[in-house]
Amino acid sequence: MKRTSAVLLTIAVLVLAVSGALAAQEITLMTWGGDFVPRAVIEEFEQETGIRVNYKEVTSNEDMQSLLEANPDQYDLLIVTDYMVDILRQNGLLEALDKSKLPNYGNINPLYLGNYYDPQSEYAIPYAISISLLLVNHEEVEKLGAKPITSYADLWQPELRGKVVTVDWSVEVMGIALKALGYEYNETDPAIVAQAREKLFALKPNIVRFETNTPEDSLINREAVVGFMYSNQAVKGNAADPALQPVFPTEGVPIFIDCWVMSKEAPNKDGAYKFLDFIMRPEIAARIADITKFTTPNKAAEPYLPDYYRENPMLNLPDEVAANTSFYIGVDKVLEEYEHIYVEFKLR
């Protein structure tokens, strides 16, 4: 019996050792689908290090929050939007990053550090920067008899009935109505929210489609003549059809900084640090920016960026546009109310 027990114990120890060795050779990251973290870049990291990358695709920041809260020891890295960094940080779910393990951290432009969601730059590494803006087919707008579009307020023109496409998120669509009324994003004053609700409902006849992933397609196929979308989508739309031109609304535009964060209970922190440092190499950051069409926060990547990228105002924002941007702060405080309004709006 003793010998049998000893054998079983030895087997158990070996199993644990093998499991530990395998775990050390893989990391799990969670973020948006598609090529948000280009597969070619992931494969290059895997080939260089021998560390396998498991990629968990989700559709919202809130889904990532729920999954991390339920199983914090199953994920090493996440890419979440700035407001969600703030929530996860305040909820104690994130690992304070050891910069000594990140030699390439100095490549990040200081302009994108120390923001509201991570005041001391302890938990987050900026990865992809984008704004939301309007993409417009000016010739088709003119054919409809509408006046030129320069602002969110212009989207309510009756001539644009059934000709507007927008991303599909309550906070952003409510933001259009709030900005058109002269207010800031994520207002909580009941009187202001009520005004925005009525303003939003008046826009419904003009909406042809709600689409988060490829709203630019509706303009390319001429289903719509104007769209509210992310800058990387507008870049792709303009590349497919030069008649589609960016418009930076006079009321201002929202800015998003999607950031890398590490789970406080990450199972392979060493592997995660290696991946983060790899991602911050200048030539790798430039390739990512070229593929994804997001603005890169990696200042050392600029010499590696293609000319079209450096010359595109949707990727390298003009000073006057950058000065007229603002974050969606306090999303968690308005999300439930805005979602309730948004569901009613879409059902009308």
Residues 79 and 36 sit within 8 Å (Cβ to Cβ): yes
Query: Does position 20 have pLDDT exceeding 60, yes or no?
Result: no
Residues 126 and 111 sit within 8 Å (Cβ to Cβ): no
pLDDT at 65: 98
pLDDT at 61: 94
Residues 223 and 160 sit within 8 Å (Cβ to Cβ): no
Q: Tell me what the mean pLDDT of segment 276-285 comes to.
A: 98
Tell me the H-state helices in the chain.
2-23, 39-49, 61-70, 82-90, 138-143, 170-180, 190-203, 216-220, 231-240, 269-279, 282-292, 307-311, 319-322, 331-347
Q: Give the pLDDT confidence of 131-140 residue by residue, as tens digits.
A: 999 999 999 9
Q: How confident is the model at residue 24 (pLDDT cuts 50, 70, 90)?
A: low
Query: Does position 3 have pLDDT exceeding 70, yes or no?
Result: no
- pTM summary value: 0.78
Q: How far apart are CA 305 and CA 22, in angstroms?
A: 36
Q: Give the pLDDT confidence of 131-185 residue by residue, as tens digits.
A: 999 999 999 999 999 999 999 999 999 999 999 999 999 999 999 999 999 999 9
Q: Tell me what the mean pLDDT of segment 256-270 comes to.
A: 97
Cβ contacts of 210 within 8 Å, gap of 6 or more: 165, 166, 167, 168, 346
**Read out DSSP for 316-328?**
S--HHHHTTEE--
Q: Of all residues in the chain, what percent carry a pLDDT higher than 70?
A: 93
Q: How far apart are CA 69 and CA 76, in angstroms?
A: 13
Whole-number Cα distances in Å, 226 to 150, 197, 236: 11, 22, 15
Q: Tell me what the mean pLDDT of segment 226-242 comes to.
A: 96
Query: Does position 15 have pLDDT exceeding 50, yes or no?
Result: no
Q: Write the DSSP symbol of residue 212.
A: S
Which residue is listed with tokens 């105002």?
A: 313
Paired residues of 253 in beta bridges = 325
